[in-house]
Chain A
Amino acid sequence: MAIMLLAITLFLALAAMFILATQFSDLKERASIIAADNAQLLISKIANSPEFSCGDSYGSEMSSCIDADKVINLKKDISQYGNGGFWGVDGIQIRTIYPQNTGIECTALNYPNCDIITIVKGNGTGISSFVSLCGKISVNEIAYNKCNLAEIIITYSGSLT
């Protein structure tokens, strides 16, 4: 009888250890996945905020679309947004991916012949997401919509979990 009790206790202990091990083995991995998802959601929130998003300025309503004309003007007035503190980030930068990036920083004078719009310079952890960067370009005095593939990079200090 004593051996039976011992055996049952041993079995239950093993079963409990097995359940605990399977439940908590990937805890760190899950935490990092949640942090990455939160970061992606924060980027989506910023890209789709009224200060950035295209809305229906380029035909139909588009998601993950940043209005370059808005952003160039936002760059001048970013201090009114607490230099990014309004969105809870330290830095915001938009870089053209395609057509190929030549590394020219955008100003009100050289826009749209440029590739990088640094709204706020930031240090810390950087995360990025694909967006389309749309603006109006003039060809023979006719305005056309032009969208490039770009990435929005936000930097933040601390954790987003």
Chain B
Amino acid sequence: MQSGRDNNHVFGEFDIMNKKGQEEMVGFALIVIIVSVIILVFLGFFLSSKNNESTKTLEAENFVLSSLQYSTECTDYYGYISLKNLIFLCNSQTDCVSGQDSCEVLNSTLQGILNQSWKVGGGSSIKGYELNISSNTGWILDMEKGNLTGNSEGTLQPFSDGTGASVNIVFNVYH
């Protein structure tokens, strides 16, 4: 009799412990699910946010490459100097044959090209642009216009003149 009562008592305690264990498991599972959902929401928000880093685009690249071939008003003994050669001329502080300051010609030509090519503001989707030209010996030219927003596309064009001088052109368009 005594042992039967004891057994009932033991089974009763086991039932309570079992129920408590199940409740803890459910609670633990719920916590895991809630934490997982929160992580998923954060991940989704993080992944869907736009990538604001500059990406190389064909349009910007074509613009830079085409502009470099433009015949400037600066001349040498063979004819009109291309914009690309004018950059090297400006970098070496050499004037045009006609006597003009190569850097002044470079500045005015690029200003004209940029103004005609990229209409900034108003109803345009382009909010601004920036152009940076530097060489292995230092800075050559910086130009920017409009609002430099976080949404940009651009290109980096490195080239050299074959005599050791190298130039980097960075052009970014902001939308």
Contact = CB atoms under 8 A, between A and B. Distances in A.
Interface of A: 3-4, 7-8, 10-11, 14-15, 18, 21-22, 25, 37, 40-41, 44, 62-65, 97-101, 129-132, 134, 144-150
B71 A146 contact: yes
A64 B59 CA distance: 11
B29 to A, nearest CB: 5
Interface residues of B, number: 30
B25 A14 contact: no
A145 B79 contact: yes
Interface string B37-48: 100100110011
Nearest to B48: A25
Nearest to A4: B29
A18 B69 contact: no
B79 A22 contact: no
8 contacts: A3-B29, A14-B36, A14-B37, A40-B59, A65-B69, A97-B116, A130-B66, A146-B71
Contacts of B59: 40, 129-130
B114 to A, nearest CB: 9
Contacts of A101: 116
A44 B57 CA distance: 13
